[in-house]
Structures are given as C-alpha cells and as structure tokens.
C-alpha cells in the first residue's frame, strides 16, 4: 500500500520579541507544526523565497498602516500568494477588521492569550476549504485495466 502521509503544515512566525517568538514556536511545535521563525519582515521575506507556507503568524505593533504594508509584502511572493495570516496585535482595534482582512488576515488575536486560543485559530485557519485541498492527499483511482481496489 502506498504511503499517503503529508508533511505537517509550515507556519512562518514573524515576531520581534525573542521570548514571544520562542513561546509561539514551542506551542506550535508541541502540536506537530513545522515553523520558520523570523524576528523581522526582512528575514521573513528571505524565507518566503524558498519555503512553501501554509500560514503566517504575524505580530504587529500599534501602526495599522505599517502592518498593512508589511502584510502586502509578505504575500507578494509566489510561494506566499494567498497564504492566510493570523495577526497578533498589542491593542487590536475593531476598525482594523476590514483592512487586515483585505491583506489576507483571517484572525487578529490580542497579544495576551491562552496557548489553546492560538492553536484553535491555527487549526481553524488550516482547515478552511481553500486550504483543506492542499492538506489531504488526492484520492487514488479505484479502477485499473485488470483490478478494482476495495479500500
């Protein structure tokens, strides 16, 4: 029987605080996710050139304009086009919903949260219909010229 195992999702974590960066990585790693860690957008952009991503976890400051500019840059590369972003904001503002959504944001979490909150958001984002196709191996044909597979 052929092995239909797929690789765990790759998550790019962009966080300037090294303690928080390590914390995010530990939480995600314990659940089996692969992570690439970047302390700034420049390092993240270098990673995006080579890594196929499933999700971007992006910590933003208090400047919505800077967050939008950086998010557009992160999704401008061929390997990151269409990749959803979960934003982590120090002081999320309800007025940010539309603009963050327009650059690929699916969630905006407050900076202080329980680890399970992050994991729930990641899991929900990765299993959205447009991403589920990429995570499930395509079905094999059950028919051949000489046999029919029953399982």
- pLDDT, greater one: 145 or 107: 107
Render pLDDT for 13-55 as a digit per residue (tens, 0 to 9): 999 999 999 999 999 999 999 999 999 999 999 999 988 999 9
Phi, psi at 113, each rounded to 5°: -155, 165
Q: How confident is the model at residue 6 (pLDDT cuts 50, 70, 90)?
A: confident
Model confidence, pTM? 0.80
Domain ranges of the chain: 10-135
Q: Which fold has domain 10-135?
A: Rossmann fold (3.40.50)
**Where in 61-114 does DSSP place strands (E)?**
85-89, 105-110
Q: How far, CA to CA in Å, does 23 sit from each of 17, 62, 89, 98, 113?
A: 10, 21, 16, 28, 12
End-to-end CA distance of the chain: 10
Q: Evaluate the CA torsion angle 108, 112, 116, 118 in order and state its sign.
A: positive
């Amino acid at each position: 029987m052929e092995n239909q195992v797929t690789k765990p999702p790759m998550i790019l974590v962009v966080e300037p605080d090294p303690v928080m960066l390590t914390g995010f990585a530990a939480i995600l790693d314990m659940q089996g996710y692969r992570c690439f860690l970047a302390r700034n957008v420049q390092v993240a952009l270098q990673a995006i050139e080579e890594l196929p991503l499933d999700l971007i976890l992006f910590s933003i400051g208090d400047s919505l304009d800077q967050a939008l500019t950086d998010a557009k840059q992160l999704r401008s590369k061929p390997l990151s086009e269409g990749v959803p972003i979960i934003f982590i904001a120090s002081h999320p503002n309800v007025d940010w919903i539309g603009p963050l959504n327009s650059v690929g944001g699916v969630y905006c979490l407050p900076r202080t949260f329980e680890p399970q909150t992050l994991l729930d958001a990641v899991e929900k984002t990765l299993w959205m219909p447009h991403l589920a196709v990429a995570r499930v191996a395509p079905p094999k044909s059950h028919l051949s010229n000489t046999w029919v597979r029953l399982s």
